[in-house]
Structure 1
Amino acid sequence: MIEEQPKCQYCNSKNQQCTEPAGQSGLCFWHDKDCDKTGSDVKLRLEQYAKNGGMLQGLCLKQADLANIDLVNHHQKMGYDFSESDFYKANLNGAHLFNIDLTNASLMKADLRNANLNCATLHHVNLLGVRWADSKIENIKIGKRIRQEVEAHQANKSKQLQESLNLFEQAEEIYRDLRKHSEHEGIFTMSGRFIQKELTMRRFQMPKYSAKRISSKIVDLFCGYGEAPIRIVAISICMIILCAFLYTLTGLSYAGEIQKFDPNASLSESLQLFLSCLYYSVVTFTTLGYGDFTPVGISRAIAALEAFTGSFTIALFVVVFVKKMTR
């Protein structure tokens, strides 16, 4: 009676088991981290393994020579799923990886020069030390946070402060590399997002209540480090409405008569007063100053502060908007 060869013990996140024959470790060649993948035949074997429908999740491909490999799932809507696979220091120079799924994988120190990663899914991937030169990265899906950023916040919550700082530093390096490469490729919308993340990671490395960190946070809130002009518009609108409400309470002078909120006034009169104050707030914020309304008492301090803030905010908006448009 022929004894059946044991199957690989690897199971993916969906509890599906690999059907390849197992070695002495209980794992197949592709899933065994101790199997040498540096041979020149690995590239062709992997291409064939993928075409034959082998389980591609969780592969251990450390230092594998996969230069110019074709891992495109041709004539199929979905790309190959290499999630949770390890490509540490793998040579993927010139590799064809269009639409590949690398969720939870590791590309640490991988050589991706000249590789085609268009439409690739890189959610929660370790991208530390990746060589990006001349690679194609249009429409890649990074996710809201990279792996190091997520782990840094988790370490911070666990009070592992030094580990958190190290991870934030790694996250900053990864975002900086992605920003530089996307700028080189002319993908400025993507590079804008990466520079925001890069500077945010740098902020998290500063002492919590330091002046530098607070000022950095203010710049982020106002304009997203120069990449979000719409934030300036939103803050301006909020400032105008807030000041209009304060003018309603503190009063304005019109034709020699003080106009101020009266709890006994009718709803229409109160609404008319607020609209007048809103008009004055817009005029003050934009520093037009028609002179029909004038501040009195505390309103003078509010008007001075609003005028200063308005002139600064408008100038900031012009700078940020021009920066975005000229790119």
Structure 2
Amino acid sequence: MGAGHNHGPVPQRADRGMRRRLLVAFGLTAVIVVAQAVGSVVTGSLALLTDTAHAVGDASGLLVAVIAATMMLRPANSNRTWGFARIEVVAALGQAALLLVVGTYAAVEGIRRLFEPQEVPGTELLVFGIVGLVANIAAIAVLATSRGANFNMRAAFLEVFNDALGSLGVIIAAIVINTTGFQQADTIAALFIAALIVPRAFMLLRETVRVLMEFTPKGVDLDEVRIHILELDHVREVHDLHASMIGTGQPVITAHVVVDDRCFESGHAPQILETMQACLREHFPVSFDHATIQLETAELRGRESGAVQHA
């Protein structure tokens, strides 16, 4: 006997709104890529070249995010019981990996250029930096309201926000070059952009890997969950206790719970299930809307243990 809920996807209206925002952000980022690529060729700026590489990563990541958001609209079926709910996690993982590659390249090339500075025209660099910043601010405004909706939207917002900071670094470098002639400012800006990319990408990578590896969700201590269940009347044992995340806002928990035999004879088992659900809601910050609890007799538990031993 178990308890559970519908595994259907989140409302499609919200997903379609996210997809529209991602499409607009992708268009803006594509404009940034073209403008900054031209600017890096015209000026020879490492900071602008690094920011262009970052923008290419952003555009690619946003394109992946658009595809992921589209696939998430497909409904669940008997072959895909969760639909494509986890596609946003896979997409965010790919974006994080891409950002790490771009950030590492920028750091290596930046260190090399620090000792071999090239002359960069400050005025032209300033113009292209402003163009990039304006477009990034527009993309940020588009994505800001949905940035916490899921891993996919968070990754997209993170990429655009980091790129905006990179454009700001390019602008500052241009101003320094124009006012002081200090050419290394361009390289320092490139290293600044790399420093923005790597730590945040690593954090996103770590969080998405936690979901894909089905680690216990943050804020949930399974030892405490076990203790609370064992404290309930008629409960004798808890085993095969697992908790994980399907995707953003979709934690799941499963457990086998051994109860007194008389609970099945008296019809009291459904009340025990309700009590367990209430216990989870009351004591833990994660809302387990998908909880599957299998109630067992001591005899059935013994059969399971014997089967495991002989497997």
Whose radius of gyration is greater, 1 or 2?
1
TM-score (norm 2): 0.23
Instruction: Report 1 or 2 for greater relative contact order, CA contacts < 8 Å, sequence distance ≥ 6.
Output: 2
TM-score (norm 1): 0.22
Higher strand share: 2
